[in-house]
Amino acid sequence: MKKIQLDEFINFKFLSAIKYSPDGKYACFVVSQANVEDNNYSSNLWLYNIHDNSYFQLTASNKESNFIWMEDSQHILFTGLRDSKNKDKKEKGEEFTQFYKISVNGGEAQKAFKIPYNVKEIKQLDDNKYIFKCLFNPFNKDITKLSETDKKEELKRRKEEKDYEILEEIPFWGNGLGFTNKNRHTLCIYSLDTGNVQVLTDKELNVEGFELNKEKTKVVFIGNSFTDKMEIQNTIYISDLATAKIEQVTPIEKFRYNNVYFLTESQLICIGNNMKKYGINQNGKFYLININSKERKCITPDFDYAARNSVGTDSRLGSGGQMKIDGEYLYFLTTEKNSAFLNKIDINGTIEKVISQKGSVDDFAVIDGDVLFIAFRGMKLQEIYKLEDNKEIQLTKFNERLIQERKVAALENISVKTDSGVQIDGWVMKPVDFEEGKKYPGILDIHGGPKTVYGEIFFHEMQYWASQGYVVFFCNPRGSDGKGNEFADIRGKYGTIDYDDIMKFTDAVLEKYPFIDKGRIGVTGGSYGGFMTNWIIGHTDRFKAAASQRSISNWISKFCTTDIGYYFVEDQNAGTPWDNQEKLWYHSPLKYADKVKTPTLFIHSEEDYRCWVVEGLQMFTALKYYGVESKLVMFRGENHELSRGGKPKQRIRRLREITDWFNLYL
């Protein structure tokens, strides 16, 4: 059997976006794979036939990932750029989305219609109308209403304006989005017969998500209205599609909604929180809202889990629905301890666990109680499973052979008591060709978030390091998800109790596994893990090498330069640069950079607007100033998702840089 290779992820099949057909006879899903030659990802639609349990590839142009089922259950609608004329128009700055449709029986995809906006999400209303959410700048001229001459002039003007940016609000950019000044997500209706677009929401309202009622006569959506500063709180609205009248359902208050659905014609079910006790990361609770009376009632007062999947891995691509309505139930994911499960809730607030096996449910489809889902199980990569008599049955084998032909390191669980009533869960991976009596170097890997978790699933970079002779160990310290609000709450405590947890966990690992060479230990992590790496090297020299990725070094600069900084920093550190500068500086790794002795590699992406490159540059400059061995590698054209969804060649280079650094010093 072969060892896991540095570029092994290029062989992985990434599964996402599984959806049942309206009649329940088929399920469509996306299969993606890295394409190193073109330095991108190929994505195609696949179809699963419920009747005979077969699955086959439906499209082959390698560019299909956004799709919906049409109401006839015989056709799938998807977006794409398949002809050179449309590609040329896009390159010249014209905004539109081309839709194609393809039969479940296969054959050539046919052009369906083109909408003159950048469509982000679309749903079919009837044979003639679609409702969609698009990225829209109301301050740009609507080129659909211009003559050809005027349209050319407008496109020329937009192209010229690419050479400079005008900023008038915060956030002024977004990770993976670029500059976003005045951009809003807007709800619109498109009519096939006329080609007309009806804009439903006004120019200051940013639509975060929308859902239709069963009859498709009403739409409910979450919106955030702002001019100069976007606030974290939002509001629920309903629109009667016959009149296009928008009604505000919930008051404008400090309350954040994440999802909302029609559970019945008169009742909405949503999840949200008031952020009062635990801030913006507070776990939401489920509420019923009476559409007529506007009364909001909490139906899960004791619910204390994140209603999402926060189990980390670098071996998934694409996203899926975290919640879906089926009949009288809302199905949703939760992160509990170190796994992501599927649950359902009814109108009374009764929650039932639908899938309870450890691992990670990444996406699911449900119709009439029948469930298909994409999941990580054990050390296997993603596959599709079905639930039958409460038993999981694996349906696909996209990645089965690959893993069977590789040496995969097992995870050994180790739990450590770090404080009174505090138990930290962690794991150790021995080198794949482990020999008794031999000493091995080790790598401590720290997750991002901080409100995410490591779980017992496949993680490529860790498996690669284990294949290269490293012991890899990692844990979920306080601040992590899965154990409720109190455990996750480290506001105002960054670098204190979480640092203590990680160091005590490291002590326990070294004591239990004496084959780890204490003189050859490295530390790495990204995002919050990058912050903690920066913090660690300023507070101890026990690690002989460090690799800090997409990190935070200075809470003051992060506040003023990043997409979420102006509300995240204040919430997480109980201060702003003006009312509590000393506290922000106290929790900033840069404050302690003059104490660093550890050779450190910094990895940053130029377009990472979540943890901008200036964070790494400050630490790098400080270490060089004080004569510490250090290097910074910046990736152009990449953002915060470099390690998970970055271009294949850049992902390979990133992992090689980190591994070479550890090889050099460990």
Rounded distance between C-alpha atoms, residue 274 and residue 283, angstroms: 10
Residue 321 pLDDT exceeds 80: no
Rg of the chain, C-alpha, whole Å = 25
Which percentage of the chain shows pLDDT scores above 70? 100
Lowest average pLDDT, out of 90-99, 359-368, 461-470, 512-521, goes to 90-99
Instruction: Indicate which residue of 360, 527, 553, 630 is catalytic.
Output: 527
Give the pLDDT confidence score for residue 237 in this predicted structure: 98
Give the pLDDT confidence score for residue 160 in this predicted structure: 81
Give the pLDDT confidence score for residue 88 in this predicted structure: 75
Give the pLDDT confidence score for residue 143 in this predicted structure: 77
Task: Give the fold, CATH level 3, of 410-665.
Answer: Rossmann fold (3.40.50)
Residue 264 pLDDT exceeds 80: yes
Which percentage of the chain shows pLDDT scores above 90? 90
- Beta strand 440-446 with 516-526: parallel, antiparallel or unpaired? parallel
Give the pLDDT confidence score for residue 70 in this predicted structure: 97
Instruction: State yes or no: cis peptide before 138, omega within 30 of 0.
Output: no
Which range scores top for mean pLDDT: 62-66, 154-158, 161-165, 531-535? 531-535
527 in catalytic set = yes
Give the pLDDT confidence score for residue 200 in this predicted structure: 95
Give the pLDDT confidence score for residue 490 in this predicted structure: 98
- pLDDT band at residue 152 using 50, 70 and 90 as cut-offs: confident
**pLDDT averaged over every residue in the chain:** 95
Rounded distance between C-alpha atoms, residue 336 and residue 306, angstroms: 8
Q: What is the pLDDT of residues 419-444, one digit of tens each?
A: 999 999 999 999 999 999 999 999 99
315 in catalytic set = no
Give the pLDDT confidence score for residue 562 in this predicted structure: 98
Do 6 and 655 form a contact (C-beta atoms < 8 A)? yes
Give the pLDDT confidence score for residue 162 in this predicted structure: 80
For the chain, give every domain's residue range: 118-139+182-303, 410-665
Rounded distance between C-alpha atoms, residue 282 and residue 279, angstroms: 6
118-139+182-303 belongs to CATH 2.120.10.30: yes
Instruction: State yes or no: cis peptide before 171, omega within 30 of 0.
Output: yes
Q: Which amino acid is at 2?
A: K
Residue 249 CA: distances (Å) to CA of 12, 184, 252, 290, 293: 45, 21, 10, 9, 9
Give the pLDDT confidence score for residue 628 in this predicted structure: 98
User: Which element (helix H / strand E) includes 566?
Assistant: helix 565-573
Q: What is the pLDDT of residues 336-361, one digit of tens each?
A: 999 999 999 999 999 999 999 999 99
Rounded distance between C-alpha atoms, residue 191 and residue 130, angstroms: 7
Mean pLDDT for 26-37 is 98
Rounded distance between C-alpha atoms, residue 345 and residue 300, angstroms: 10
Give the pLDDT confidence score for residue 130 in this predicted structure: 98
- pLDDT band at residue 179 using 50, 70 and 90 as cut-offs: very high
Rounded distance between C-alpha atoms, residue 32 and residue 57, angstroms: 12
Entry pTM: 0.97
Give the pLDDT confidence score for residue 265 in this predicted structure: 93
Of 16, 29, 13, the residue nearest 403 (C-alpha):
13
Instruction: Indicate which residue of 467, 551, 640, 643 is catalytic.
Output: 640
Give the pLDDT confidence score for residue 95 in this predicted structure: 87
For residue 132, give the 3-state DSSP assignment. Answer: strand
Q: Whose structure tokens read 């500086």?
A: 585
Give the pLDDT confidence score for residue 373 in this predicted structure: 98
Mean pLDDT for 165-188 is 94
Q: What is the pLDDT of residues 79-110, one digit of tens each?
A: 987 777 777 777 777 889 999 999 999 899 99
State phi, psi for 29 to the nearest 5 degrees. Answer: -150, 170
